Structure 1
Amino acid sequence: MPGIRLPFNCVVCNIRTTPKNRRKINVQLKQQILKRFPVTVKETDVICNKCRLKHFCKSPPVSSLRYEEVISDLNSDDDFNPPISKRCAIASPPSVRLSIPATPKSHSRCFICKRPGPKLIVVPAEARFSAFAEHNIIIKSGTRCCPVHTDASKLKDDALKSANKAESAYVNRATVLELLTKLREAY
């Protein structure tokens, strides 16, 4: 019948849930709920996001192997690099002050000739690293310039000499780690 609302209460905390705040209970979650709470779970029951995240968002075990077997398998593979998830990305405010010249970050104008333009390109990571390694200049990620200033994923020397530079740079941890990693790989 129209106008009749079913009460979708959370099985764990018994709070009425909104449609965007509730999840159906699958078999694994049902088993965990029955282990932890003295409740009965039906097929039509739901759980709120708060309870789901608070109590049940733990990663499942890797496999039925023992811990020593998993570690020995990982240690035997020398080229193993664990995948980097988006949650592990380092994000911090620019708080590290370096006494290295740095160019201003500009998204709407070329950082070298200051021309506005619809055909600006983002300075590639290779060009930013080569500017740091060869000319001791930090170019922040996301900075844009005209395509005429680049030459095969590298910025031209005369363009870097004519660019405005500050005497020091405020960078974040991610920038420092990126520069150190690339230096380690290059040398």
Structure 2
Amino acid sequence: MSIVLTEFARSRLFPRTPRRNTIQDCTPQAFERHLNKAAPLKVLDGYAPFCKIHVHRNWTTTRCIALPITEENRHLLRSAYEARTVDELPVLVRWFEDVLPPVANYLLVIVYEREQLAKENTPIAADWGVVGCMYTSEPEEMPMAPITMMRNALGVAEGGSGVPLDPEAYRRSVAFWSAHANWRG
């Protein structure tokens, strides 16, 4: 089995201008080499049959991507309308500023099968393509953000995968993300 970074993931996990809330102490090439050499601790099923989550111990200094919202940090939340790419419409997002989460214990690498990526106009030469990564304290998946679930349900033309919305998974996502937020550094 071979794994490569998609351009979508590369630009988000390894931006041209480094940020503290992305993967640290690792180049995109070293990241790919590690994924192809080191077996994951476990592989979780993703939200659709073409999606898997490879759980790895964090071999970097990358910090947890999400934090609980508390009365002590609520005033540090910010929001704006943003698009992930120039082709997508902006959506409302929120994040913490001026916080420093702990170093993550795990990197949960989200991969899609080659066939699905071809449907999404992202052809790859490998078996699997990285589309994202969660940096967590536990070796378990965080719920996908509600807006990502909606975008996926809208289809490929809107930056999604075409997987219909699962109302129960959506409710779990809303419960989690109502009590947590990402951070920016």
TM more than 0.5? no
**Structure 2 length-normalised TM:** 0.21
- Ranked by relative contact order (alpha carbons within 8 Å, sequence separation 6 or more), the top structure is 2
Which structure: greater helix fraction? 1
Which structure: greater strand fraction? 2
